Structure 1
Amino acid sequence: MTSILTNVAAMSALQTLRSISSGMEETQARVSSGLRVGGAADNAAYWSIATTMRSDNMALSAVQDALGLGAAKVDTAYAGMESAIEVVKEIKKKLVAATEDGVDKAKVQEEIAQLQDQLKSIADAASFSGENWLKADAGAAEVKDVVGSFVRDDNGNVSVKKIGYTLDDKTVLFDSTNNTPLTTYGSGILDAQAQYNGTDGVNVDITINGVASSPAVKGYSTNELLTLGLTFTTNTTTNQTVADNAGTVEYLRLDGQDKWVKLTATAPTTGQAVAYNDGSTDYFVDTADLPTNVVNADAGFSAYNLDITKLDDVATAMGGSFTEADALDFMIQYIDDQLETMTSAAADLGSIAMRIGLQEDFVKKLTESIDKGVGRLVDADMNEESTRLKALQTQQQLGIQSLSIANSASESILTLFR
């Protein structure tokens, strides 16, 4: 049946052409955007995943920037700590050199003072973006956080992980609350006042009934004996130096030391060997003269303001019978202890710097992996889409031709009316 009102062939051709045009629009959208899933309507599941992962990637980009800022802060603190360690090593070297007899301690102190000023300069300069981790409130124990990573767990909960570094008396060189470190003390590694804990005892070798022992007795300094008005003599026979008062021998100097021990004319223990004889009387080491135990004595110096020209003051401040040599030995030990603390702090900074570096590399790789994963879900295969577009263009041309043929079929009816 042929009808001029209803052209079934044209209607079929037009429907086909519309379908082809719709396919072309979809393919052209993929070609122009490069996306196979450009919206939720294309594939709701893949679009949802891709949107979430793109959001996470943006967060990771922010983490990467924060890691760069944190790395700069840590590197600045590490560089300052490393430089300060080298300076403290030099101070320790000068102190050891000062133990040699005949050394001009005033000249050595001039060099130490320059090194101490350098320490202050290093701490003041180790600042990045307004933060100084080497000069801070050491008593506050403030934790400085560096962004480490962005994490999404299995339940979809997100969190930002941080790396903490505590600023306290084990990591801060100078206490920022101490405005005059030359005359006062703070809580930092370099401006904290040294605390002496020890004893003024010395071990002496004695024999009791032929059995050797080394008991600890109190050791006296020469200056301490001078204040007692004692007379110092040397026995030409035994080559022993003694200090006595009104002819009564009281103290004996130990070989090779500026230390004296108290003597007694009565043997403290039966069978104890004689320590000294003045030609008429035997004297024994007074083992009952016990040493003084010193606990938390303020030694009167810090690493920043120690002065080896004032060793007598330090010896007195230590709280027992100490010599200047004792004070210098304690200074060396104290500086070595602070150096060990600084080394530990530098190790912590170095490990954080290493961790940040590893995290930066991981974030870069993770970002790339997420981009690849999202691409696999939503990116269009351009080879496939271009081939499809070419085919649809051909189909469209054929559809137009078919519609033209279907429309021309109605015109043939006119010949029946001629």
Structure 2
Amino acid sequence: MASINTNVAAMTALRALTSTNSALTQTQSRISTGMRVNTAADNAAYWSIATTLRSDSSSLSTVQDALGLGAAFVDVAYTAMDEAKNIVSKIKDKLVAAAQPGLDRGKIQTEITELQSQLKGMADAATLQGQNWLSVDSSAAGYNATKKVVSSIARTGGSISVQSISINTGSMKLFDSSAAAKGILDTNRNATTGAVDAAGTFTIAAINISALTDSTADLATLDGYIKGADRAITEMAAGATTLGAAKARIEIQQSFVSSLKNSIESGISQLVDADMNAESTRLQALQVKQQLGIQALSIANSSSQSILSLFR
């Protein structure tokens, strides 16, 4: 039945064209943004997961920065510690030379004093962002010998936690201005063995041999100084080893965080990114379909005009 009130063919063609236009708009959006899930309306579950993963990926970028800063702290401390160890070795060499009877120990002390000044200046200069791990004041409020470097984040269910690498700097400090605790170079040492001793009579930073003679007692004192310098070198080497191990761990963690971040970004891509090859093919098909839909609607609309010929 032909009717001028209801054009069924036109209505059918219009519905098909509307559907095509909607699909075309969606495809064009995917092509322009490169994403098939751009809003929660596209796919609520995938959008929610991707949003959480993006947040974690951003946090991992911050973790990478923190690891880089932590590595810098360790590098500064290690460089100063290693150089200070070399200077103490030179002091030890001077002390060994002074053990030779008949030498002018006052002149040797002049060299030792310069090296001692260099030790203090070097330890004080090993500062980064206001932190110094080698020259400290352990009696200061808020002091903590255990330094932490943010290393990663962990998500358990909906809860997130920050993980860190701990570095104990208590055994590697060279100077400590606190009266209750001292560092490797300003702690009292036993005059005979050179070991750390609260009742000891000398420190590496304050050794003075200018008044020593060739007497048996003075030579024994000098021998104690040599042993003290040797023990200090061993203690500093242990501190440098701790720093080296921390640096290696930080480097491993940097590599892991970088790989983890790449994996998360890859996962986000799998969830929300559009397949551009498929979308371009789909676009071509929809454009043809749209053109055919327009022609079909035009034909359907013109069919009612043929009714006029019946009244001529």
Post-superposition CA distance 1:249-305 (Å, at most 9, x none): xxxxxxxxxxxxxxxxxxxxxxxxxxxxxxxxxxxxxxxxxxxxxx95734220001
Tell me the TM-score normalized by structure 1: 0.69
Deviations 1:62-116 (A, max 9, x none): 1111111111111111111111011001011111111122222112111111110
Higher relative contact order (Cα pairs below 8 Å, separated by 6+ residues): 2
Structure in which a larger fraction of residues adopt strand: 1
TM-score scaled by length of structure 2: 0.92
Do structure 1's residue 89 and structure 2's residue 89 form an aligned pair?
A: yes
Structure 2: gaps (5+ residues): none
Contact 1:147 / 1:160 at 8 angstroms: preserved in 2?
yes
Deviation at 1:383, TM superposition (A): 1.0
In structure 2, C-alpha distance between the alignment counterparts of 1:95 and 1:197, rounded to whole Å? 15
Contact map agreement 2:106 2:211 (CA 8 A) in 1? no
Equivalent pair of 2:109/2:209 in contact (CA under 8 Å): yes
What does 1:286-365 align with in structure 2 at a 5 Å threshold? 298-311=199-212, 323-365=217-259
1:190 maps to what in 2? 185
Q: Map Cα deviations across residues 13-60 of structure 1 (whole Å, 9 max, x no partner).
A: 001001101101111111111111112222222222211111100110
| 3-state secondary structure, aligned to 1:150 | strand
Question: Match of 1:373?
Answer: 267
Between the aligned partners of 2:118 and 2:159, the Cα distance in structure 1 is 49
Shift of the 141–364 alpha-carbon distance from structure 1 to 2, 3 Å rule, reads closer
Q: Which of 134, 138, 151 is the aligned partner of 2:154?
A: 151
Once residues 185 and 144 of structure 2 are traced to their aligned partners in structure 1, the CA distance between those partners, rounded to angstroms, is 16
CA shift at 1:308, angstroms? 1.4
Structure 2 CA distance for partners of 1:113 and 1:137, relative to 1, 3 Å: same
Distance in structure 2 (CA, Å) of the matches to 1:63 and 1:344: 28
Q: Tell me which residue corresponds to 2:37.
A: 37
Say which structure is richer in helix: 2
Is this contact kept in 2: 1:136–1:176, CA < 8 A?
A: yes
Q: Distance in 1 between the 2:6 and 2:177 partners? A: 95
Query: Distance between the aligned counterparts of 1:87 and 1:296, measured in 2?
Result: 22
| Paired residue secondary structure (2:109) | helix
- Which whole-Å CA distance do the structure 1 matches of 2:198 and 2:184 have between them? 18
Amino acid at match of 1:176: S
2:162 maps to what in 1? 160
Gaps of 5+ in 1: 179-184, 199-294, 316-321
Q: In the alignment, which residue of structure 2 is the partner of 1:52? A: 52
Change (3 A) 1:34 1:5: same
Which residue is 1:137 aligned to? 137
Work out which of the two has the higher radius of gyration on C-alpha atoms and give 1 or 2.
1
SS in 2 for 1:403: helix
Residues 190-212 of structure 1, C-alpha deviations (whole Å, 9 max, x = no match): 111213577xxxxxxxxxxxxxx
Map Cα deviations across residues 355-411 of structure 1 (whole Å, 9 max, x no partner). Answer: 112211221221111111110111000111011011111100000000000011000
Q: For residues 378 and 128 of structure 1, do their structure 2 counterparts lie closer, same or farther at Cα, with a shift above 3 Å needed?
A: same
Between the aligned partners of 2:311 and 2:163, the Cα distance in structure 1 is 88
Q: How does 1:179-258 map to 2 (within 5 A)?
A: 187-196=182-191
Give the secondary structure class of the aligned counterpart of 1:144. Answer: strand
Cα root mean square deviation, aligned: 2.1
Distance 1:22 1:167 in 2: 65
Say whether the 8 Å CA contact 2:189–2:203 is kept in structure 1.
yes
What CA distance in whole angstroms lies between the structure 1 residues aligned with 2:200 and 2:176? Answer: 19
Paired with 1:193 and 1:398, the residues of 2 have a C-alpha distance of 96
Secondary structure of the 2:168 match is strand
CA contact (8 A) 1:81 1:346 kept: yes
Q: In the TM superposition, what is the alpha-carbon distance from 1:323 to its structure 2 partner? A: 1.6
Question: Any conservation in 2 of the 1:31–1:380 contact (CA below 8 Å)?
Answer: yes
Q: In the alignment, which residue of structure 1 is the partner of 2:125?
A: 125
CA distance in 2, matches of 1:191, 1:144: 22
Shift of 1:156: 4.4
Give the secondary-structure state (helix, strand or coil) at the position aligned to 2:38.
Answer: coil
Partner of 2:14: 14
Change (3 A) 1:186 1:118: farther
Aligned-partner Cα distance in 1 for 2:131–2:296: 77
In structure 2, the residue matched to 1:412 is: 306
Pairwise CA distance, 1:351: 1.1
Corresponding residue of 1:176? 177
| Partner-residue secondary structure (3-state), 2:10 | helix
Q: Which residue of 2 aligns with 1:401?
A: 295
CA contact (8 A) 2:192 2:224 kept: no
Deviation at 1:146, TM superposition (A): 1.1
What SS class does the counterpart of residue 111 from structure 2 fall into? helix
Deviation readout 1:164-216 (Å, 9 max, x if unpaired): 22332x211111346xxxxxx96111111213577xxxxxxxxxxxxxxxxxx
- Partner Cα separation in structure 1 for residue 103 and residue 212 of structure 2: 14
Change (3 A) 1:15 1:351: same
Q: Distance in 2 between matches of 1:361 and 1:299?
A: 47
